[in-house]
Amino acid sequence: METIEVEETGPDAGWVPQVCTLPTVEQPLRVAQFDALFAEAVTGVERVGPDRVRLALRAEPGVAGRAAELAAAETTCCSFFTFQLAASGGELTLDIEVPGRHVEVLDALAARASAAAR
């Protein structure tokens, strides 16, 4: 698949990385999918390491399914992401990790999740 260069301007600057292989016309849809998940399901955002963020999600099967589908889709175009979905003790979390060179993407994603969760 061909790498698509994304211009780093506009409201999604920093969030959609330049190395993203998702076709440019599909990128706004993916951002909207993340924003919807953040707004509807994120109950907290915690930085658990310099290159890792933990999202606390509403512990519901539908939320877990959406988060898993979105994580799987995102790793097909931005393979540097590592997602780990965990359900334990009635809690649901999604850990998102990136290599150090992509921390600015993680920072932007965490900021969007935090803003949506308010």
The pTM is what? 0.82
Per the structure, the complete domain to which residue 91 belongs is given by 42-117
Residue 90 lies in a domain: yes
Residue with tokens 């994120």, as numbered in its chain: 42
Task: With respect to residue 17, please indicate whether it lies within any of the assigned structural domains.
Answer: no
Q: Which pLDDT score is estimated for 58?
A: 97
Q: How confident is the model at residue 18, as a pLDDT? A: 66
pLDDT tens digits, the chain, 118 residues: what are they? 222 233 333 444 445 566 677 767 887 888 899 999 999 999 999 999 999 999 999 999 999 999 999 999 999 888 899 999 999 999 999 999 999 999 998 999 999 999 998 7
Strand arrangement, sheet containing 82-88: 42-49, 52-57, 91-97, 82-88
- What pLDDT does residue 15 have? 56
Residue 10 lies in a domain: no
Query: Distances from the Cα of 22 to the Cαs of 16, 17, 62, 104, 117, in angstroms?
Result: 10, 10, 25, 19, 26
Is residue 102 in a domain? yes
